[in-house]
A and B are shown apart, each in its own frame.
Chain A
Amino acid sequence: MTVAVALLCVVALLSLAVAALAIGRSPAATPIVYGGCIAVSSVALLSGLSQLLGGAAPASIALPLGLPWIGAHFRIDALSAFFLIVVDLGAAGASLYALGYGRHEQAPQRVLPFYPAFLAGMNLVVLADDAFSFLVSWEFMSLSSWALVMAHHRVGDNARAGYVYLVMASFGTLMLLLAFGLLAGPDGGYAFADIRAAHPSAVLAALAFCLTLLGAGSKAGLVPLHVWLPLAHPAAPSHVSALMSGVMTKVAVYGFVRIVFDLLGAPSWWWSMVVLALAGISSVLGVLHALMQSDLKRLLAYSTVENIGIIFVGLGLSLAFETHGMAWAAALAFTAAMLHVFNHSLFKSLLFFGAGAVLTATGERNMERLGGLIQRMPQTAFAFLVGCAAISALPPLNGFASEWLTFQAILLSPQLPSWGLKFLVPAVGALLALSAALAAACFVRAFGISFLGRARSAAAKMAHEVDRWSLTAMSCCAALCLAAGIVPGLFIDALAPAVQGLIGTRMPTQVNVDWLSIVPIAESRSSYNGLLVFLFMVISGTLAAFAIHRLASDRLRRAPAWDCGYPDASPVTQYSASGFAQPIRRVFGTAAFGAREQVEMPAPGEQRPARLTVTLHDPIWDALYAPIAAGIMLAAERLNRLQFLTIRQFLSLVFAALVILLLVLALWP
């Protein structure tokens, strides 16, 4: 039933796309398409919710599409239902936001047709139940998002971004293709049911695991496959960026979970180590790069890399626990990962909405030219602030809840017998803590530089609050962030069936713990109550305010900023984004991204200003991708000579081929 509804929603989305193709240029198209998307995705959302909360048995449908002798199988179980919710919640939010944001689109006919298609693709991936339809929807998702990235192909090097994105996406798809080729076996049992039934040998499973890690990892943006992400996500229109960063990466996580936890069967001991190592590196590298960006949307994209790292830490831990038969711990770690999936989809969408709002208000993405926006767009500023607090894992918001759970999972890991893990897990824990702290720094910078202080450019001075739709979308996301932060127990219970389905067990039920606090293992061991913390802060804050205003003075006088008595001339003298990041760049820079500073000091008496230039580059690009590209280009160059031979030379090629083959025949036993 639910799966049918979901599929109907997909069909509706696709027909919306076709309709958009027809009416794309007319001004009425924007509200129609986005309105339709809201309606459809909320229906899909409801179906997902009913499946997950209703605790219905997995339902599946087989359609006579795709490969005829297999057909297209679609199935919805708890896991797909959960991800369906994530996808469609994000989709509904983005569409709502786009109702307002989309009006400023210069070339709507380049966005409208692909947007519903993109949503449809993501929904299909989650629903697919055989290798073929999974891959088709997977690549369809990439393709439509590529088209959306190319929407503003004339701006900057967006075209290049799209190119890198498409190549990496196809790489991922081909890797998954190989993985499925392994799992399906020579007689082509592509249906997931068959793959589950056929238990692959250890070697086969290991190979498939690596391929899956490459395939899904490249889509999720796991280091070192992340290079496309910070290029492509900012290039798209902001509501699409929100979807790509907040939702599409989660679909990639779904792919990883579906294959590794569901299809591959029992994991072997070293998988978790690979995942954990990559995840830890991703989280730290991602946030460090985010700290160095001055482009607001690129900063957000890099922070997505970090959060994907956090999610994969959870997944890796649960793999480790599963390997050593500690199902309850595995359940805890997996729940942490899923909770973070949900949370990140919320606050990353929120932040991208905010960035988009700034973009519409000022036309600027560069933080160095922003500032003081809190004065002119207070509501946006507030929503953005909530997002920043959430993503920096500050209690009582939702980011903290999931990171707290992850830490709890790490604290369980000394009981693991494997020595490799004994050394790896603490290191990963340290990396995680480091990345959390750096994330806080990163978002202090993001919010402080672009919303606080004084306007650094005329555009920022002229900014104005954005439209109602966008604000509604943002405040909805903010509200959800708060809700998920103060009552995480409800959400943990909600996604318990998904955990149960994969791990075989689940975390203890949290609802009937008193005061709605969450207790992963035991009261005496650890517990956290977002609600109470929230209440305490509110009460003590208001108490203080009330007391002071009642008993002491509440007089207030506006005056120029003091600043130690220095008359502070122009806004240029405030701290800039790069200046703010300088201490941290000094600390980590040389190691993480070969940062180089050259100071060009004019000789005494010269008039020209001194100049400080900082060069950063991604070591992974230099070490991995540049050589590959160079190699391919070199090979192309060499082979290209064959284009310019004379006919005689071509004939001699034929002749050589003939003689060689004849020789083979002559020498054939």
Chain B
Amino acid sequence: MRGLTFDVAHLLAGTLVLVSFLELYQDRLSALLNMFALHAFVLALSVAWQAYAQHAPHLFVTAAIALVFKAIIIPVALHRIIMRLGIHREIEKVVGVGPAMLLGMGLVALSMVVMLRVTTEADPLAREDLAFALSVVLLGLLMMVTRRNAVSQVVGFMSLENGLVLAATGAKGMPLVVEISVAFSILIALIVIGIFLFRIRERFDSVDLQALDRFRGERR
């Protein structure tokens, strides 16, 4: 039983990392959103599994949030937005897919090294989970910095946060996980609303159509 738990958790976490790579690979917004939905869904599964494995029923709430909110509501909303803004086709990256992938690989390797240096006293399940979570986080951050488009940056942030939730749930008996996931959901909601309100089409730092560049601090 112990082994099985471990393997399933391991598998799910690994899948999450894989899906992050897939996100990194996408170059169409709509496709990216679908990928993210998948990402969230896998997260939900893994959280649920953790809940079952740790006999921590409250984690099911987190799983539910992940499933309903992140896997369904947010993607739908974002789909709407990009349709409205008519940017559902293009997606401009700063670095091409290849380099991004290579970078991602490097990051995963890095997180593995960093995490597996932790001596085995720590619970192995936790360790592996942490390693994967860290890679997900780093990949999310990578996505945020390699994409110009606001929506894809949000997606990056959300997958980063998925990594956090993975880590939180991976940590046995960690209190407040639910609260934290709720808090994060609020955060993301705010961001999405912000994008919606300010009709951000291009970049985060362009709060209005004509306000692309003029108002960033004092002009030169």
Mark B19-60 against chain A: 1 for CB-CB distance below 8 A, else 0. 000000000000000000000000000000000000000000
A659 touches B107 (CB 8 A): yes
What residue of chain B has the Cβ atom nearest to residue A650's Cβ? B205
Which of B114, B205, B220 interacts with A666 by CB under 8 Å? Answer: B114
A644 touches B145 (CB 8 A): no
In the complex, whether A648 has a CB less than 8 A from a CB of chain B is: yes
Which of A640, A643, A651, A666 interacts with B110 by CB under 8 Å? Answer: A666
A644 touches B141 (CB 8 A): no
Known contacts A662-B111, A666-B113; is-contact A651 B145 (Cβ 8 Å): yes
A644 touches B205 (CB 8 A): no
B110 touches A663 (CB 8 A): yes
In the complex, whether A658 has a CB less than 8 A from a CB of chain B is: yes
**CB-CB < 8 A to B141: which residues of A?**
651, 654-655, 658
Mark B139-165 against chain A: 1 for CB-CB distance below 8 A, else 0. 001101101100001000000000000
In the complex, whether B217 has a CB less than 8 A from a CB of chain A is: yes
**CB-CB < 8 A to A629: which residues of B?**
none
**CB-CB < 8 A to B117: which residues of A?**
665-666
**CB-CB < 8 A to A647: which residues of B?**
203-205
What residue of chain B has the Cβ atom nearest to residue A658's Cβ? B141
Known contacts A643-B217, A651-B144, A666-B117; is-contact A659 B203 (Cβ 8 Å): no
**CB-CB < 8 A to B142: which residues of A?**
655
**CB-CB < 8 A to A648: which residues of B?**
94, 144-145, 147-148, 153, 203-205
What residue of chain B has the Cβ atom nearest to residue A668's Cβ? B117
A655 touches B145 (CB 8 A): yes
In the complex, whether A652 has a CB less than 8 A from a CB of chain B is: yes
Known contacts A659-B110, A662-B114, A665-B114; is-contact A644 B220 (Cβ 8 Å): yes
> Shortest beta-carbon distance, A277 to chain B, in Å?
46
Mark A436-476 against chain B: 1 for CB-CB distance below 8 A, else 0. 00000000000000000000000000000000000000000
In the complex, whether A613 has a CB less than 8 A from a CB of chain B is: no
A23-B107 Cα distance, complex, nearest whole Å: 70
In the complex, whether A646 has a CB less than 8 A from a CB of chain B is: yes
What residue of chain A has the Cβ atom nearest to residue B113's Cβ? A666
What residue of chain B has the Cβ atom nearest to residue A654's Cβ? B141
> Shortest beta-carbon distance, B95 to chain A, in Å?
11
A659-B217 Cα distance, complex, nearest whole Å: 28
What residue of chain A has the Cβ atom nearest to residue B116's Cβ? A666
A644-B148 Cα distance, complex, nearest whole Å: 16
A643-B203 Cα distance, complex, nearest whole Å: 17
A659-B216 Cα distance, complex, nearest whole Å: 27
A648-B203 Cα distance, complex, nearest whole Å: 8
A652-B203 Cα distance, complex, nearest whole Å: 14
A644-B203 Cα distance, complex, nearest whole Å: 14
B114 touches A646 (CB 8 A): no
A652 touches B145 (CB 8 A): yes
A643 touches B218 (CB 8 A): yes
> Shortest beta-carbon distance, B183 to chain A, in Å?
21
Mark B112-148 against chain A: 1 for CB-CB distance below 8 A, else 0. 0110010000000000000000000010011011011
**CB-CB < 8 A to A663: which residues of B?**
110
Mark A627-638 against chain B: 1 for CB-CB distance below 8 A, else 0. 000000000000
A646 touches B205 (CB 8 A): yes
Residues of A102-145 at the interface with B, using a CB-CB cut-off of 8 Å, are none
A640-B148 Cα distance, complex, nearest whole Å: 23
A644-B217 Cα distance, complex, nearest whole Å: 7
**CB-CB < 8 A to B153: which residues of A?**
648
A655-B107 Cα distance, complex, nearest whole Å: 11
Residues of B73-111 at the interface with A, using a CB-CB cut-off of 8 Å, are 94, 107, 110-111
> Shortest beta-carbon distance, A510 to chain B, in Å?
68
A658-B141 Cα distance, complex, nearest whole Å: 10
> Shortest beta-carbon distance, A633 to chain B, in Å?
15
A623-B113 Cα distance, complex, nearest whole Å: 53
> Shortest beta-carbon distance, B160 to chain A, in Å?
11
What residue of chain B has the Cβ atom nearest to residue A656's Cβ? B145
Known contacts A662-B110, A665-B114; is-contact A646 B144 (Cβ 8 Å): no
A648-B94 Cα distance, complex, nearest whole Å: 10
> Shortest beta-carbon distance, A225 to chain B, in Å?
35
B110 touches A646 (CB 8 A): no
> Shortest beta-carbon distance, A669 to chain B, in Å?
11
A646 touches B216 (CB 8 A): yes
**CB-CB < 8 A to B145: which residues of A?**
648, 651-652, 655
**CB-CB < 8 A to B138: which residues of A?**
658-659
**CB-CB < 8 A to A651: which residues of B?**
141, 144-145
**CB-CB < 8 A to A652: which residues of B?**
145
**CB-CB < 8 A to B203: which residues of A?**
646-648
What residue of chain B has the Cβ atom nearest to residue A661's Cβ? B114
**CB-CB < 8 A to B94: which residues of A?**
648
A49-B142 Cα distance, complex, nearest whole Å: 76
A432-B148 Cα distance, complex, nearest whole Å: 71
What residue of chain B has the Cβ atom nearest to residue A665's Cβ? B114
**CB-CB < 8 A to B218: which residues of A?**
643
A153-B78 Cα distance, complex, nearest whole Å: 60
What residue of chain A has the Cβ atom nearest to residue B117's Cβ? A666
A648-B152 Cα distance, complex, nearest whole Å: 12
A646-B150 Cα distance, complex, nearest whole Å: 12
A623-B107 Cα distance, complex, nearest whole Å: 50
**CB-CB < 8 A to A665: which residues of B?**
114, 117
> Shortest beta-carbon distance, B167 to chain A, in Å?
15
A646-B145 Cα distance, complex, nearest whole Å: 11
**CB-CB < 8 A to B113: which residues of A?**
666
> Shortest beta-carbon distance, A26 to chain B, in Å?
44
A665-B134 Cα distance, complex, nearest whole Å: 14
A640-B219 Cα distance, complex, nearest whole Å: 11
A646-B107 Cα distance, complex, nearest whole Å: 24
A658-B107 Cα distance, complex, nearest whole Å: 11
A654-B117 Cα distance, complex, nearest whole Å: 24
**CB-CB < 8 A to B147: which residues of A?**
648
Residues of A532-560 at the interface with B, using a CB-CB cut-off of 8 Å, are none
Mark B192-220 against chain A: 1 for CB-CB distance below 8 A, else 0. 00000000000111000000000011101
> Shortest beta-carbon distance, A643 to chain B, in Å?
5
A654-B160 Cα distance, complex, nearest whole Å: 14
> Shortest beta-carbon distance, B6 to chain A, in Å?
25
A655-B139 Cα distance, complex, nearest whole Å: 10
**CB-CB < 8 A to B114: which residues of A?**
662, 665-666
**CB-CB < 8 A to B148: which residues of A?**
648
Mark A603-644 against chain B: 1 for CB-CB distance below 8 A, else 0. 000000000000000000000000000000000000010011
**CB-CB < 8 A to B144: which residues of A?**
648, 651, 655
**CB-CB < 8 A to A643: which residues of B?**
217-218
What residue of chain A has the Cβ atom nearest to residue B141's Cβ? A655
> Shortest beta-carbon distance, B39 to chain A, in Å?
20
Mark A566-599 against chain B: 1 for CB-CB distance below 8 A, else 0. 0000000000000000000000000000000000
> Shortest beta-carbon distance, A639 to chain B, in Å?
13
What residue of chain B has the Cβ atom nearest to residue A644's Cβ? B216
12 more contacts with CB within 8 A, not counting A648-B145, A648-B204, A665-B117, are: A640-B220, A643-B217, A643-B218, A644-B217, A647-B204, A654-B141, A655-B142, A655-B144, A658-B141, A659-B107, A662-B110, A662-B114
**Chain B contact residues, CB within 8 Å of chain A:** 94, 107, 110-111, 113-114, 117, 138, 141-142, 144-145, 147-148, 153, 203-205, 216-218, 220
Closest A-B pairs by Cβ, 7 of them: A652-B145, A647-B205, A666-B113, A647-B204, A646-B205, A655-B145, A651-B145
A-B contact pairs, 21 of them (CB 8 A): A640-B220, A643-B217, A646-B203, A646-B204, A646-B216, A647-B203, A647-B204, A647-B205, A648-B94, A648-B153, A648-B204, A651-B141, A651-B144, A652-B145, A655-B142, A658-B141, A659-B110, A662-B111, A663-B110, A665-B117, A666-B117
